């Protein structure tokens, strides 16, 4: 499973880039959080938590590097807060409608 946390303004670019090469299945969640920069200060206002979008997707092991490359390319601005990628194994998955094991 890939968990990608990206800037909201880069979400559609990332999603479209993934779809162009066949990665259609994903889940998008609006989230808030902060990274190493601990939020941002604009004038006298400090914003401790910033809006982000988390994309969740399960891909075959041999496709992980390709998916990560697309996400990195499309989400990149070169500034703090571009996001983070997390990869973890998925032991099993089931289709609710049929009850069948999906992986």
CATH of domain 2-87: 3.30.70.120
Task: Report the C-alpha gap between 101 and 24 in whole angstroms.
Answer: 20
Q: What value does the mean pLDDT take over residues 17-38?
A: 92
Q: What is the pLDDT of residues 59-69, one digit of tens each?
A: 999 999 999 99
Distance CA(48)–CA(70), nearest Å, equals 29
Rounded CA separation 3/88 (Å): 8
Please report, to the nearest 10 degrees, the dihedral formed by the alpha carbons of residues 49, 53, 56, 62 taken in order. -110
Distance, first Cα to last Cα, the chain: 12
Q: Is the pLDDT of residue 99 over 80?
A: yes
Structure token digits, residue 38: 């601990």
């Amino acid at each position: 499973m890939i968990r990608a946390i990206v800037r909201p303004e880069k979400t559609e670019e990332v999603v479209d880039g993934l779809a162009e090469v066949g990665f259609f299945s994903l889940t998008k969640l609006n989230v808030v959080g902060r990274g190493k920069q601990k939020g941002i200060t604009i004038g006298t206002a400090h914003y401790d938590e910033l809006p982000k979008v988390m994309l969740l997707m399960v891909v075959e092991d041999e496709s992980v590097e390709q998916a990560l490359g697309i996400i990195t390319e499309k989400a990149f601005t070169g500034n703090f807060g571009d996001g983070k990628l997390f990869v973890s194994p998925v032991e099993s998955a089931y289709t609710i409608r049929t009850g069948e094991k999906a992986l």
